[in-house]
Amino acid sequence: MSTTLQNPRVAAALDRMYAEAEAQMAALRERGADFARLSSATAQERADALSEFYLPVTPDAGRLLYSLVRAARPATVVEFGMSLGISAIHLAAAVRDNGAGRVVTTELSAAKVAAASRTFAEIGLDTVITVLEGDALATLQSLDGPVDFVLLDGWKELYLPVLELLQPRLSPGALVVADNTSMAELAPYLDYVRDAANGYVSVAFPARDTDSMEISCRAVT
């Protein structure tokens, strides 16, 4: 019995996207100085400047996300920072294989929204993915119902504000997965979810040789 990740259209799309992402790494390194100047730019300016780049989760991290969603069986998955859709495909594949649920994903770059939406339609996962274009702190305000699973993979200074926005909607036992948590700017976020007084049980998980994810369970009952 095969999974949606093994569906020929889905597998081919992921292979293509990861190959394109790998090919982009040289360009990212060459333009590193240019991108470093974006640190003082707005989130929208950064999103537009990086609109052609995948900036994806690793294949291992993608399979971890798939496995967590299969195990948790969330009714609603929220992703902050869709980029070109690699992580959303893993999340949506798990939702599809669970037989119920939806993925709500957010993205600032209009170019990325258009490209990812085409991919989702081509591989048949558009029916379980809702794409919200714009500032997640605005678009997620109107989210209806409880949230059972969250992936944070957008601009790092917004992890904590996005979590605080979603927190009243988190169901007991909800999982919150944050990517790239070795980055220094994520210290306030990690301090928050690792403080038991805030209602989470949190653990670091190595997602690649030089980086990690933080997996946090909303432990309130």
Averages of pLDDT over each 10 residues, the chain, 221 residues: 93 95 78 62 71 80 96 98 95 98 95 95 98 96 94 93 97 96 92 97 84 92 79
pTM: 0.91
What is the model's pLDDT at position 111?
92
Q: How far apart are CA 36 and CA 5, in angstroms?
A: 35
Q: Which of 140, 141, 116 is nearest to 129 (CA)?
A: 116
Q: Which of 115, 62, 56, 111 is nearest to 81 (CA)?
A: 56
Q: Which of 207, 204, 208, 206 is nearest to 216 (CA)?
A: 204
The domain limits of the chain are: 4-9+54-218
What is the model's pLDDT at position 24?
83
Q: Phi, psi (5° rounding) for residue 100?
A: -165, 155
Domain topology for 4-9+54-218: Rossmann fold (3.40.50)
